[in-house]
Amino acid sequence: MSDIPKEIVRARVAMGFDHPFFGFLSLTLEPVAKPDMKPPTMATDGLHLFYHPDFIKNTPIAQIQGVIAHEILHIVLKHIPRRLNREPKRWNVSADLAENPIILREVQLPTGCLNDPQYYDKSAEYIYSNLPIAKDGDYGGTLDSHEEWKNWGKKDDKGQGKENDIVTGK
């Protein structure tokens, strides 16, 4: 725990007081530095809260809280297993467009996060079905890395699945 940046510790503690739903659930994810993450941001695989150290150093704590909440909602809303055989980048954008308005009711997100009023209160599946297909594959920047999603549901060398029930931690 001592190698976790104090900004992450402060963000999670403050979330416990100001946003208890996200604060409690943030404590179930193990923070792991990932300096090779591109772009420098945060991510989850359902068990870990991956972070790029430069992102943490250069982002205000209120926005770090927002990104942590973003990662939590990916797990709570089961965005990772719900992707099924959908095109990954388009699904990631759809998932972000579904959850970011929920987060923005509670906490801040960094400037430029995906947020479009036409998709408010819509599911990721609905958004995916109605999101125009980008000719160049670029839907704009997502807030986090979704690289960690590729192993979701696969078994590790001990036969354990990668998915996590964020409430129980099992």
% of the chain with per-residue pLDDT over 90: 66
Look up residue 115 and give its two tokens. Answer: 């947020």
Instruction: Give whole-number Cα distances, 163 to 21, 48, 135, in Å.
Output: 20, 11, 32
Lowest mean pLDDT among 91-95, 96-100, 160-164: 160-164
Label residue 151 by pLDDT band (50, 70, 90). Answer: low
Residue 142, pLDDT > 90, answer no
Residue 81, pLDDT > 60, answer yes
Residue 156, pLDDT > 60, answer no
Instruction: Please classify residue 160 by burial: count the beta carbons closer than 10 Å to its beta carbon, then call 0-12 exposed, 13-18 middle and 19+ buried.
Output: exposed
Q: Which residue has the tokens 């993450």?
A: 37
Label residue 4 by pLDDT band (50, 70, 90). Answer: confident
Q: What is the pLDDT of residue 150?
A: 58
d(CA 4, CA 19) in angstroms, rounded, equals 21
Closest CA to 107 of 9, 8, 20, 46: 20
Instruction: Please classify residue 53 by burial: count the beta carbons closer than 10 Å to its beta carbon, then call 0-12 exposed, 13-18 middle and 19+ buried.
Output: middle
158 or 85, greater pLDDT: 85
pTM over 0.85: no
Q: What is the pLDDT of residue 167?
A: 45
Q: What is the pLDDT of residue 112?
A: 86
Q: What is the pLDDT of residues 103-138, one digit of tens each?
A: 999 999 998 889 999 999 999 999 999 998 877 666
Q: What is the pLDDT of residues 17-49, one digit of tens each?
A: 999 999 999 999 999 999 999 889 999 999 999
Mean pLDDT of the residues in the chain: 85
